[in-house]
């Protein structure tokens, strides 16, 4: 029986980086969590413990901080590309840099945004995953935990009934979710910030305006709308938990519930996931398919 080393990577996970840009009295904040992951000719360390090809994960972490000082972090995609292309040399043949950006809002004081005091902007995060392989690279950006709810304009009926089905059909329900979205960019010279903002806007508008017969239909409509609006996007993946809101039975109290009083369940939840893509999108191969699912 032969035993061999299979695919492997190593890096520093979740480097917490906060930068303050001091342009006069008005400060600008960036709050990132950066993970680096390198691949390459790493058999020697695994097989013999010879570390001569191993760029220490501590060095990777330090590089994140030094790069943040040497030039402005800018958009997370650009920062990830700078890091990824730096790491790929010698025995290191591939790098994947994952970045999450946590938002901060300026605190309003007397109706004016404060120069240097901030409040955390909820749970939503902007993300990117940049894969560098030799001289090629792929950028997959996205967002996590964009929490949405519509109080009507959602139905669910026509599903098969068997001996275990208890769910009633509905033509008017609450639809709520927390969007995790990933989109793969194609082409060059992309305005990352504008693209993110426009995709987010399209997600929100489609959720609001698409009359939903299922969360699956809403998922497809969101992906389709992004691809129609943004030529720089080749493929969209969405993960949509169905945050169920159940009508409370008020009949024991002699009351009727006309879609006004709900119990918001946190688990279990339906989980609707899917990919929407252009039929002529080039397949980037492993780089996209081996991304952590979400």
Ligand X SMILES: O=c1[nH]c(=O)c2[nH]c(=O)[nH]c2[nH]1
Please give the annotated binding residues, written as ranges.
Answer: 57-58, 156, 173, 216, 242
Nearest to 198 by CA among 230, 240, 237: 230
By the rule CB under 6 A, 270 interacts with ligand X: yes
Q: How many residues sit close enough to ligand X to count as binding (CB under 6 A)?
A: 7
Q: Of 167, 208, 261, 265, which one interacts with ligand X (CB under 6 A)?
A: 167
Nearest to 57 by CA among 72, 70, 71, 45: 45
User: Measured from the CB atom, is 64 or 215 closer to ligand X?
Assistant: 215
Contact 132, 36 (CB under 8 A): no
Going from the C-alpha of 290 to that of each of 94, 137, 140, 143, 186, the distances in angstroms are 13, 14, 12, 18, 17
**Shortest distance, position 215 Cβ to ligand X, whole Å:** 4
Q: What is the rounded CA–CA span in Å between residue 99 and residue 82?
A: 12
- Which residue lies nearest ligand X, judged by its C-beta? 215
By the rule CB under 6 A, 219 interacts with ligand X: no
Q: What is the rounded CA–CA span in Å between residue 230 and residue 201?
A: 12
Residue 128 known to be catalytic:
no
280 burial type by CB count under 10 A (0-12 exposed, 13-18 middle, 19+ buried) = exposed
User: Measured from the CB atom, is 37 or 212 closer to ligand X?
Assistant: 212
By the rule CB under 6 A, 220 interacts with ligand X: no
Contact 144, 180 (CB under 8 A): yes
**Shortest distance, position 189 Cβ to ligand X, whole Å:** 39
By the rule CB under 6 A, 274 interacts with ligand X: no
Residue 244 known to be catalytic:
yes
User: Measured from the CB atom, is 54 or 221 closer to ligand X?
Assistant: 221
149 burial type by CB count under 10 A (0-12 exposed, 13-18 middle, 19+ buried) = middle
Residue 12 known to be catalytic:
yes
Nearest to 128 by CA among 199, 61, 208: 199
Q: Of 242, 243, 284, 287, which one interacts with ligand X (CB under 6 A)?
A: 242
By the rule CB under 6 A, 265 interacts with ligand X: no
User: Measured from the CB atom, is 53 or 224 closer to ligand X?
Assistant: 224
By the rule CB under 6 A, 215 interacts with ligand X: yes
Q: What one-character DSSP code corresponds to residue 151? A: S
Contact 179, 146 (CB under 8 A): yes
By the rule CB under 6 A, 214 interacts with ligand X: yes
User: Measured from the CB atom, is 107 or 167 closer to ligand X?
Assistant: 167
Going from the C-alpha of 215 to that of each of 149, 175, 178, 179, the distances in angstroms are 12, 8, 12, 12
State both tokens at 272: 């609707």
Catalytic residue among 19, 33, 45, 57: 57
By the rule CB under 6 A, 156 interacts with ligand X: yes
**Shortest distance, position 156 Cβ to ligand X, whole Å:** 4
By the rule CB under 6 A, 37 interacts with ligand X: no
**Shortest distance, position 270 Cβ to ligand X, whole Å:** 5
Catalytic residue among 30, 61, 210, 244: 244
Which residues contact ligand X by CB under 6 A?
Answer: 156, 167, 214-216, 242, 270
* Residues marked as catalytic: 12, 57, 244
């Amino acid at each position: 029986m032969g035993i061999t080393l299979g695919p492997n990577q190593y890096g520093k996970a979740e480097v917490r980086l906060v930068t303050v840009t001091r342009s006069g009295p008005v400060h600008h904040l960036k709050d990132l969590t950066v993970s680096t992951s390198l691949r390459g000719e790493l058999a020697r360390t695994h097989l013999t413990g010879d570390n001569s090809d191993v760029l220490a994960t501590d060095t990777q972490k330090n590089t994140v901080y030094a790069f943040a000082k040497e030039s402005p972090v800018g958009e997370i995609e650009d920062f990830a590309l700078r890091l990824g292309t730096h790491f790929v040399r010698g025995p290191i043949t591939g790098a994947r840099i994952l970045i999450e950006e946590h938002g901060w809002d300026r605190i309003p004081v007397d109706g004016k945004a404060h120069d240097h005091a901030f409040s955390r902007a909820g749970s939503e995060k902007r993300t990117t995953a940049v894969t560098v392989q030799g001289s090629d690279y792929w950028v997959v950006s996205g967002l996590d935990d964009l929490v949405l709810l519509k109080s009507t304009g959602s139905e669910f009926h026509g599903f098969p009934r068997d001996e275990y089905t208890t769910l009633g059909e509905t033509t008017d329900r609450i639809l709520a979710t927390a969007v995790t979205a990933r989109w793969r960019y194609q082409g060059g010279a992309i305005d990352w910030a504008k693209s993110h903002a426009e995709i987010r806007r399209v997600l929100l508008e489609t959720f609001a305006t698409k009359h939903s017969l299922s969360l699956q239909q809403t998922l497809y409509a969101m992906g389709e709308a992004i691809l129609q609006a943004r030529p720089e996007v080749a493929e969209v993946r969405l993960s949509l938990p169905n945050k169920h809101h159940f009508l409370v039975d008020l009949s024991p109290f002699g009351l009727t519930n006309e879609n006004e009083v709900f119990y918001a369940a946190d688990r279990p939840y339906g989980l609707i996931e899917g990919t929407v893509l252009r039929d002529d999108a080039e397949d980037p191969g492993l780089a996209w398919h081996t991304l952590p699912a979400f």
